[in-house]
Structure 1
Amino acid sequence: MAVRMADGPAAGLTEEIHRLKREKNAVILAHNYQRPEVQELADVLGDSLALARAAAKTDADVIVFCGVHFMAETAAMLNPEKTVLLPDLEAGCSLADSITADQLRAWKAEHPGAVVVAYVNTSAEVKAESDYCCTSSNAIEVVRSIPEDREILFLPDMFLGAYVQRVTGRRNMHIWMGECHVHAGIQPSQVKTVLREHPRAELLVHPECGCSTSSVYLAAEGVLPADRTKILSTGGMLKHASSSEAEEFIVATETGILYQMQKRNPGKRFVAANPDAICPFMKRITLDKVRDALRENRYVITVPEDIASRARLAIERMVAIG
């Protein structure tokens, strides 16, 4: 995958965005699943945890969040004095939509005293009902930080929850049955097929994937190559791809990350476990929408303070751990 600099109208659009950024003292944060041209534009590119940390530390007056709605909400709660813009209000998340605050309150009532660990892919209202947030890169550390005698409610991703439970051995951990429709669509059978086609490749699996738990099991059983099967966050995948001596990788996550992997490692080969694993929400943000967000101050993401004040503690715990 060759990396090309923007030219023609795209170059003019990029120049306008940079000018607006300077005028408004803005920073652009972008997730690893964004379109290549948006990744190229970002001041900070990363996974959910890296972007949350960047949002907490920035001295910019305006944060343009090229991601999905819950990410912009998180940035807004960490920076109540700053303006947080989401270039497209329709950039949602099927996983975040899989649990509501009312559902969580009902679940908590069934398990009084349990510690609630919410994946960052949740709404502000759900975070406000939680004790800890986590991302795929620090979920294991968050769970391990909780005393072993405390019951845990882990939500909303069942694949990440099952993976964390297997690694930590926590028997008193209950898991919400939610999923990301894109990651859930990456199945073990697809992984096996691609591995047969690329027998020397390393397998990099995001823990949200429908194949994550089975990959850990199959690697332990010798069906998958244990020394070449890695369960990693998107940020972890990028780091591993650069440090590994392997020359070929099968990547089981949303395909947007392949652009950055190839850019950073031009001599290596990256193959999608499922080429159709494309998040339509992440792809809604375009250069035109980033320009319009800066030019017209749209769309401003805010969270009511009564919700934000309760959610902020869980988010800050997430940022501090792992």
Structure 2
Amino acid sequence: MITSAPNIDSIEYPFPAKPAVLSDAEKADYKARIKQLLIEQDAVLVAHYYTDPEIQALAEETGGCVSDSLEMARFGRDHPAKKLIVAGVKFMGETSKILSPEKTVLMPTLEATCSLDIGCPIDKFSEFCDAHPDHTVVVYANTSAAVKARADWVVTSSIALEIVEHLDAEGKKIIWGPDRHLGSYIAKETGADMLMWQGDCIVHDEFKAKALRELKIQHPNAAILVHPESPANVVALADAVGSTSQLIKAAQTMANQEFIVATDRGIFYKMQQAAPGKTLIEAPTGGNGATCKSCAHCPWMAMNGLQAIEASLSAEDKTQHEVFVDDALRDEALIPLNRMLDFAKTLNMKVKGNA
């Protein structure tokens, strides 16, 4: 059973300006400078799947990693570097700080945010949870440290189904936040009693079923890969539904030579590595004559440019770059996060795959 939380006030997303276009020579200079600064400052660069391919390549070239937000944080925790440079959005920097409180965590800009985070403010969400004290609170990892601290469970898209099935088997009613599409997908798959917070990812929310069907006609042999943060009518067309890492695995293992991919196009960098020679096609984010806000690429992820990364390392004033999480808040956020990780161990499952 699915019931919905009331919509919060209309949200005005603060869409950022795109980074300045750099010449090849400027790019080479920034990359060389970043590599030197990483060495000098005992730092490592971790980048999300949705950042620009040149940022993902730079992370790999310098001994960092490219992954989902939880794996980025775990990599940073386990890496010997004293400083982490997190190329992603703010909640990812917070997750890294939660797992590595003793390390300095920097971001190219703290203004890089997420529509799921913006759409789930802690005051409104807490008020809603307080109004339903008989519900178990389950939140997606794509949330602020404060929202995680308010939750009973934190989940990624790779383990959300298993955890909700577990809670449903115990007779628990669930508050789910913030992504309504992912929550609805899980509710449909599990039959759990879920009260849904009404947030969404602007990238995945814009994929269009009608246009996707038309694209499939043009590419009849292509498999459709869909992230479950997408609308239900888009998910219904999928040949494979899964987290970011699960979609990469699908492209690698499925026999198809063409794939229509309904997630942020930043994934193409790692997907092409995993499935060389296969053709990847962006799923449509607008119908005929329609416009799109994200056009299949998160505008805040795009803020992680070479100039911003260099600035996070070279700036004397780190105010616009360093991530802090209050110790008490960190301790509270670790409880539901560790609950998920401990549950994963009982399934002998490695948790990956939030957006």
TM-score normalised by length of structure 1: 0.89
Select the residue among 146, 152, 158 that pairs with 2:174.
152
Greater alpha carbon shift after TM alignment, 117-126 vs 261-270: 261-270
Select the residue among 255, 260, 265 that pairs with 1:255.
265
The one-letter amino acid of 1:39's match is Q
- Aligned-pair RMSD on alpha carbons? 1.9
Tell me the equivalent position of 1:318.
Answer: 340
> What is the rounded CA distance, in whole Å, between the counterparts of 2:24 and 2:242 in structure 1?
35
Select the residue among 32, 41, 49 that pairs with 2:58.
41
Select the residue among 213, 237, 244 that pairs with 1:192.
213
The one-letter amino acid of 2:325's match is V
Tell me the equivalent position of 2:9.
Answer: none
> What is the rounded CA distance, in whole Å, between the counterparts of 1:153 and 1:232 in structure 2?
22
Q: Secondary structure at the match of 2:259?
A: strand
Deviation, structure 1 residue 52: 3.1
Q: Following superposition of structure 1 onto structure 2, how do residues 109-124 of structure 1 map, counting pairs within 5 Å?
A: 109-124=130-145
Q: Secondary structure at the match of 2:230?
A: coil
Change (3 A) 1:192 1:148: farther
Tell me the equivalent position of 1:221.
Answer: none
> What is the rounded CA distance, in whole Å, between the counterparts of 1:318 and 1:149 in structure 2?
18
> What is the rounded CA distance, in whole Å, between the counterparts of 1:264 and 1:9 in structure 2?
30
Change (3 A) 1:215 1:9: closer
> What is the rounded CA distance, in whole Å, between the counterparts of 1:280 and 1:112 in structure 2?
36
Q: Following superposition of structure 1 onto structure 2, how do residues 248-287 of structure 1 map, counting pairs within 5 Å?
A: 248-274=258-284, 276-287=295-306
Greater alpha carbon shift after TM alignment, 295-304 vs 230-239: 295-304
Select the residue among 234, 237, 241 that pairs with 2:244.
234
> What is the rounded CA distance, in whole Å, between the counterparts of 2:307 and 2:153 in structure 1?
36
Q: Secondary structure at the match of 1:137?
A: coil
> What is the rounded CA distance, in whole Å, between the counterparts of 1:190 and 1:136 in structure 2?
25
> What is the rounded CA distance, in whole Å, between the counterparts of 1:8 and 1:99 in structure 2?
41
Q: Secondary structure at the match of 1:88?
A: coil
> What is the rounded CA distance, in whole Å, between the counterparts of 1:60 and 1:44 in structure 2?
13
Deviation, structure 1 residue 160: 0.3
Tell me the equivalent position of 2:32.
Answer: 15
Tell me the equivalent position of 1:98.
Answer: 119
Deviation, structure 1 residue 311: 0.9
> What is the rounded CA distance, in whole Å, between the counterparts of 1:319 and 1:34 in structure 2?
26
> What is the rounded CA distance, in whole Å, between the counterparts of 1:166 and 1:41 in structure 2?
40
Q: Percentage identity across aligned positions?
A: 38
Q: Secondary structure at the match of 1:64?
A: strand
Deviation, structure 1 residue 7: 5.9
> What is the rounded CA distance, in whole Å, between the counterparts of 1:80 and 1:114 in structure 2?
31
Residues 1:131 and 2:131 aligned together:
no
C-alpha contact (below 8 Å) 1:140/1:164 kept by paired residues: yes
The one-letter amino acid of 1:13's match is Y
Deviation, structure 1 residue 289: 1.2
> What is the rounded CA distance, in whole Å, between the counterparts of 2:301 and 2:257 in structure 1?
28
Tell me the equivalent position of 1:245.
Answer: 255
Residues 1:300 and 2:322 aligned together:
yes
The one-letter amino acid of 1:260's match is K
Q: Secondary structure at the match of 1:277?
A: coil
Q: Secondary structure at the match of 2:323?
A: coil
Gaps of 5+ in 2: 1-22, 286-294, 345-350
Change (3 A) 1:99 1:177: same
Tell me the equivalent position of 2:190.
Answer: 168
C-alpha contact (below 8 Å) 1:49/1:319 kept by paired residues: no
Q: Write the deviation string for residues 121-172 of structure 1: whole angstroms up to 9, x where unpaired.
A: 11111111001111222211222332431111110000000111111221x2
> What is the rounded CA distance, in whole Å, between the counterparts of 2:227 and 2:297 in structure 1?
14
Tell me the equivalent position of 2:288.
Answer: none
Deviation, structure 1 residue 296: 2.3
Q: Following superposition of structure 1 onto structure 2, how do residues 198-213 of structure 1 map, counting pairs within 5 Å?
A: 198-210=219-231, 213=232
TM-score normalised by length of structure 2: 0.81
Gaps of 5+ in 1: 1-5, 219-223
C-alpha contact (below 8 Å) 1:53/1:319 kept by paired residues: no
